[in-house]
Amino acid sequence: MDIPQNRYPVDEKKTEELAKCYSRIIELLGEDVEREGLLKTPSRVAKAMQFLTQGYHIDPQSVIKSAMFREDYRQMVIVKDIDFYSMCEHHMLPFFGKAHVAYIPNHYITGLSKVARVVDIFSRRLQIQERLTTQIKNCIQDTLNPLGVMVVIEAQHMCMQMRGVEKQHSITTTSDFTGIFNQAKTREEFISLIKNK
């Protein structure tokens, strides 16, 4: 099921169950869940978490296939600086940044917005950055069967900035690639193009 960009499903039964859990969490943290400012917080958090994890309910391959076209273009296609927000599965704190995706078509291309949607779908799950990078790469490779795919993600992790080592300016970079991107020259061309602002 493809969900429009600015809408997300809210399951009322799930919202009610989640809200009970968040009420208990708030109490265990030492707050008064009956305090005016917190009365609707459990329900709000329950709805927010459904939005932040909506990627579990969308098939990313079907998104690509919905705008898949035959084309003989054989040069690099790059969609860079794709903003994303995700939730670290270890602490359920946000990590966010930019994804850069390239592929070299092999008879088929997809709409450029669909590449960004694939990033959204996989980021709207409990994630780690390494897996997110690989899932995006695999989805595009498996669906379009291009000559190669490369994904680079640069992100800041709140679990490192707000807690733990508290390193506010650290950036984590991950990359993964297939096919023709195994050649250093092709990888270097991609890196050069995404760094060229």
pLDDT (tens digit per residue) in 177-190: 999 999 999 999 99
Instruction: Tell me which of 91, 107, 156, 189 is the catalytic residue.
Output: 91
Are 108 and 22 contained in the same domain? Answer: no
CATH value at residue 33: 1.10.286.10
Q: What is the pTM of this model?
A: 0.91
Are 74 and 47 contained in the same domain? Answer: no
Residue 107 appears among annotated catalytic residues: no
pLDDT (tens digit per residue) in 103-157: 999 999 999 999 999 999 999 999 999 999 999 999 999 999 999 999 999 999 9
Residue ranges making up the domain that contains 32? 12-52
Cα-flanking dihedrals φ and ψ of residue 192, to 5°?
-60, -40
Q: Is residue 64 part of a domain?
A: no
Q: Rounded to whole angstroms, what are the CA distances from 181 to 99, 110, 129, 134, 148?
A: 17, 19, 20, 14, 6
Q: Is residue 128 part of a domain?
A: yes
Helix (H) or strand (E) holding 154: strand 148-157
Instruction: Please tell me the least confidently modeled range out of 62-66, 100-104, 116-120, 165-169.
Output: 165-169
Residue 189 appears among annotated catalytic residues: no
